Amino acid sequence: MLNSLFSTKKAAPYRYGIALGGGGARGFAHLGALKALNEAGIKPEVISGVSAGAIAGAFIAGGFSPDEVFGIMKENRLGNFTSIQIPRDGLLNFDKLRHTIARYIPAKNIEDLPIPFYVAASNLNEGRVEYFHRGDLGKIVQASASIPVLFSPVKIDGKKYVDGGIFDNVPIAPIKEQCETTIAINISPTQRVDKLNNLIDIATRTFHLSVDATSCRKKEECDIYIEPPELYNYPILDASRAEQMFFIGYEYTKTLRIQPSE
What is the model's pLDDT at position 111? 99
What is the model's pLDDT at position 124? 96
Q: How many domains does the chain divide into?
A: 1
What is the model's pLDDT at position 86? 47
Contacts of 71 (CB under 8 A, 6+ apart): none
What is the model's pLDDT at position 125? 97
Q: Is residue 69 part of a domain?
A: yes
Asked if 51 and 24 touch (Cβ cutoff 8 Å), the reply is yes
Q: Is residue 251 part of a domain?
A: yes
What is the model's pLDDT at position 179? 96
Say if pTM beats, i.e. exceeds, 0.85.
yes
CATH of the domain at 85: 3.40.1090.10
Q: Is residue 166 part of a domain?
A: yes
Give whole-number Cα distances, 241 to 8, 145, 187, in Å: 40, 20, 15
Q: Is residue 262 part of a domain?
A: no
Tens of pLDDT, residues 76-123: 865 444 444 545 555 677 788 999 999 999 999 999 999 999 999 999
What is the model's pLDDT at position 1? 44
What is the model's pLDDT at position 205? 66
Q: Residue 28 sits in which domain range?
A: 14-255
What is the model's pLDDT at position 82? 45
What is the model's pLDDT at position 262? 65
Q: Is residue 3 part of a domain?
A: no
Q: Is residue 261 part of a domain?
A: no
Q: Which residues of the chain have pLDDT under 50?
A: 1-2, 4, 6-9, 79-84, 86
186-197 residues labelled b (16+ CB within 10 A) or e (exposed): bbbbeeeeeeee
Q: Is residue 243 part of a domain?
A: yes
Q: Is residue 5 part of a domain?
A: no
Please give the Cα distance from 16 to 260 (Å, whole number).
9
